[in-house]
Amino acid sequence: MKKLSVLLFVIILILTPVLADDSQEVASGMIPDERQLPLLVDDAGLLDGEDYQEVLDRLEEISGEIELEVALVTKSSLDGEPIKSYTDDFYDYNGYGYGDGDDGIMLLISMEEREFYISTYGYGITAFTDYGLEFLETSFIDYLSDGCYRDAFIAYAETCSYLVETARNDRPLDSYDEGGDSDYIGNGGYDDYGNGGYVSDGEVSRSSIWQCLADGWFIILLIAFIPAIIIVSAMKSQLKSVKPKNSAADYTVKDSLKLSKVSDLYLYRTVTKVARQQSSSGSSGGGRSLSGGGSSMHTSSSGRSHGGRGGKF
Amino acid sequence: MEKLIEYKCPCCGGKIEFDSNSQKMKCPYCDTEFEIGTLRDYENDLVCDGEDDISKVGKASGRWSESEAEKLRTYVCHSCGGEIVTDSTTAASSCPFCGNPAIMQGQISGDLRPDLVIPFKLDKKAAEAALLNHFKGKKLLPKLFKDENTLKEIKGVYVPFWIYDNKADANARYRATKLRYWSDSRYSYTETSHYSVVRSGNLEFSGVPVDGSSKMDDILMESIEPFDISEAVDFNTAYLSGYLADRYDVTSEESASRAASRMKKCCEDTFRSTVSGYASVIPESFSFSLDEGTVKYALYPVWLLNTEWKGKKYFFAMNGQTGKMVGDLPLDRAAYFKWLGGLTAAFSVISAALYLLFMLS
């Protein structure tokens, strides 16, 4: 009897940590509340002072706007460590992430291996689907390969902003958007991202304005014509003053109107009803099957679940 | 024994039956329910509809005295047949209607003597000035018109009018609706309440003028109205001196229908304006009748002018009492299109800006 209970006790003692680990997240002491490092960490020295500041400012600005931290890390070498776990850990243990959910995305580049990895956490996992991450990659990969690091990083930041805005205002970009739906491509400016090119804001606006005007010239003229014809007709009618007077209103004896019968008789009533639109709960864009790819996840060493995508450049 | 009355449904016209379930009258065709009292009152409304009756418009009857008749002369124009009357001291030199020299002289006889006259308040100079003023401010008037037009004729003429005083009785019936909206979580409701609105009563008219000369364009004469009859005085041949008076050639009975239709229109408008508070009002019936009234024969002062420009004659008339000047002016086509083009271009800028704002947001 005694041997059995001791054996039982030992078994429980061994199992407890294992069981405990499965059921709860890692102790909060290991992951800092505050971010320990800037949003842009350039250990590989790819950017000079000016470019660094520019990229950092943009990252901070965007992170504030979309309420999600967009981070970027460059390293000259990972010393053999796998880039996926390195990025996840870098994100977790340096306290990256916005708000209670630590929402964020991090792009880590290692120059020696010429590898990159994008890690997402919190709302970042939802906003950046697998398809979205592919989309994100194509926005900066060419710049990265060409060595245009500042351009690559700016493109990364802008695309992150776009994807999160899309996710918040409509729904996350996913594979069902592949057909080049104009809702997502926007006004002729954003589809440039898909082609790996980055066009500055000024050029996009100007060309799309002319395009828009060229399409709508007929309607514009029609709308302008209406007040013009009204005014000119009024001017024309000034010329005509010979008109018959059909009413003898000028000749009524003042206050001579006497009404002998004033009756407002209620007859009947009819009621018509129109069915109201039921407000749809969460569904949007009727007729579209929402069978997107979603976001695949993996667990990092901290025990937290991250989304991500990696590759070579 | 009470007469069996069949009621027609005010909504669809079918025969209404008493519905024992609801204890109301119900139309089996459109399912609308009515109170019994409602249907009876509605019948009363319908009974008041009637036909117009303008038979009692008055007849004029003044006659010239012999001494007056001596002082007056009539002239007849050979080319257009226009007839004018003036006193013996004024020589009519040309026909105010067609410009030809008037010829034949004659005595007044068998004509009605005017009851009233509104003397000329404005003279020839005032008429010329008013014409120039008439040209001002008209943006589409050809610029050359003002400079090149030649004033061919200014004539002060007393135009004969039949003046009607009547009391009008009218009965108007309308179908009106009121709307009420509300909604719950499943439906939006619209309730339409239908009413039968009746307005019955009388309105008095005094001094309704109708042009008694076929030569004078009636529309032109109506355009220079109103004439204020309170300034009219009893007729005296002295007023004719220096002016021409057109003779009437339309009888008061013939003119009466125009007077009646104007009075009727005024009644329609006045009664309609007393119906308010409804979402929609549709007139269903209007009947009108004139009580015994009076007709007077009056001479009203009118300045007639005509100018010529580029071979075309333009006619103007001015109210000799109020100074109101009317007359159609020519249109400068080129200016018309220039203004249209210019304004369209100007508005295009605004329209384009709005369009871009709408499309790119």
B139 to A275: CB separation less than 8 angstroms, yes or no: no
SS (H, E, C) chain A: CHHHHHHHHHHHHHHHHHHHHHHCCCCHHHCCCCCCCCCEEECCCCCCHHHHHHHHHHHHHHHHHHCCEEEEEEECCCCCCCHHHHHHHHHHHCCCCECCCCEEEEEEEECCCCEEEEEEECHHHHHCCHHHHHHHHHHHHHHHHHCCHHHHHHHHHHHHHHHHHHHHHCCCCCHHHCCCCHHHHCCCCCHHHHCCCCCCHHHHHHHHHHHHHHHHHHHHHHHHHHHHHHHHHHHHHCCCCCCCCCCCHHHECCCCCEEEEEEEEEEEEEEEEEECCCCCCCCCCCCCCCCCCCCCEEECCCCCEEEEEEEEC
Contacts of A182 in chain B (CB under 8 A): none
Q: List, run by run, the mean pLDDT of 10-residue segments along chain B (361 residues).
A: 70 84 84 83 81 70 66 72 68 63 56 85 90 87 83 86 91 93 88 92 92 88 92 84 80 87 92 92 91 88 88 89 92 91 91 82 69
Task: Confirm or reject contact between B202 and chain A (CB < 8 A).
Answer: yes
Instruction: Return the pLDDT at A292.
Output: 61
Instruction: Return the pLDDT at A15.
Output: 66
Task: Confirm or reject contact between B146 and chain A (CB < 8 A).
Answer: no
Give the minimum alpha-carbon distance from A233 to chain B in angstroms, rounded to a whole number.
Answer: 9
A219 to B41: CB separation less than 8 angstroms, yes or no: no
Task: Confirm or reject contact between B133 and chain A (CB < 8 A).
Answer: no
Q: Which of residues 213-232 of A touch B (CB under 8 A)?
A: 213, 216, 219-221, 223-225, 227-229, 231-232
Task: Confirm or reject contact between B42 and chain A (CB < 8 A).
Answer: yes
Give the minimum alpha-carbon distance from A250 to chain B in angstroms, rounded to a whole number.
Answer: 7
ipTM score assigned to the predicted complex: 0.74
Tell me how many residue pairs between chain A and chain B have CB atoms under 8 A apart: 222
Instruction: Return the pLDDT at A187.
Output: 40
Instruction: Return the pLDDT at B227.
Output: 92
Instruction: Point out which residues pair with B178 in neighbouring strands.
Output: B193
Contacts of B266 in chain A (CB under 8 A): 247-249, 251-252
Give the minimum alpha-carbon distance from A222 to chain B in angstroms, rounded to a whole number.
Answer: 9
Give the minimum alpha-carbon distance from A280 to chain B in angstroms, rounded to a whole number.
Answer: 14
User: Tens digit of pLDDT per residue, chain A (313 long)?
Assistant: 677 777 777 777 776 655 555 444 444 457 888 888 999 999 999 999 899 999 999 999 999 999 999 999 999 998 889 999 999 999 999 999 998 889 999 999 999 888 999 999 999 898 999 999 999 999 999 898 888 899 999 999 999 999 999 888 888 888 877 654 444 444 434 444 444 444 444 444 677 777 777 777 888 888 899 999 999 999 999 889 999 989 988 899 888 899 988 989 998 888 998 988 765 544 444 444 445 677 888 888 888 888 888 888 8
Q: How far apart are CA A184 and CA A192, in angstroms?
A: 12
A236 to B32: CB separation less than 8 angstroms, yes or no: no
Give the minimum alpha-carbon distance from B72 to chain A in angstroms, rounded to a whole number.
Answer: 32
pLDDT in tens, B290-329: 888 888 899 999 999 888 888 888 889 999 999 999 999 9
Closest chain B residue to A204, measured at CA:
B360
Task: Confirm or reject contact between A11 and chain B (CB < 8 A).
Answer: no
Contact B49, B287 (CB under 8 A): yes
A238 to B261: CB separation less than 8 angstroms, yes or no: no
Full-model pTM: 0.57
